[in-house]
Structure 1
């Protein structure tokens, strides 16, 4: 085997890897397209680079300032994981599905788009009311409404002394 034959084989392997990589990307984008359509957003937004992030932020209910956090190096890793977790929650999925969206997007975006998952609404709205199952529905009041020492209508402010 001479050097021309081995370079041709290497080029063929490289071309095969490139086509396989492009096929994986196309499958992930098609899944994201269908996911956007389930949320009532335009599906074509999945192929526009910055606009697809804006649509994802609208789907999960986060403010547009998150675009800044998603383009800052190192910070974007944390916010991307958080965004994918909110996408999973918006479609009624668990944290395990978030791990799948991060590690195997070409499998989990089509599952989200073509599967039986329904868009439940922005998951960030429930995060604004507090975290977890807060029985008092107010994260700043651990006492509830009946025993709230901060909001007693019988209390009157003290009057200043007369000098």
Structure 2
């Protein structure tokens, strides 16, 4: 059973420890978290054993050009969508040659985006042969929503690692 701890830092440390033990790696693709997810991971001593890097794709054009999110996904579903989060996670995984890709996209506020209220967040985890997405409805201010997104994304990756045997 996955046990994450109570802080994003605790979750990050556990995820990185598990990845290093498995000889696996992770890369991040961030929008609303603006690099906070990568910073949370790199705050952990020894993170370089399994964290390979990340792409902060705040602008839609960067999601398309740097992460390979299809323009059709943006046009049909928007950037605050399950489809966009999944494409971001797959794109960063492929482009940075990581075992796992972890993506965040959504609305941190103060205003709604694409008709979605503040706190609407999609996270995605892409790994060998799978992609999982989760919709979050977070309360709070910008800082709280961004932090909550990081904790949820790291917990989702941790749960996926726990459910998949190594090798």
- Whether the TM-score (by the shorter chain) exceeds 0.5 is no
Task: Provide the TM-score with structure 2 as the length reference.
Answer: 0.28
Task: Provide the TM-score with structure 1 as the length reference.
Answer: 0.29
Whichever structure has more strand as a proportion of its residues is: 2
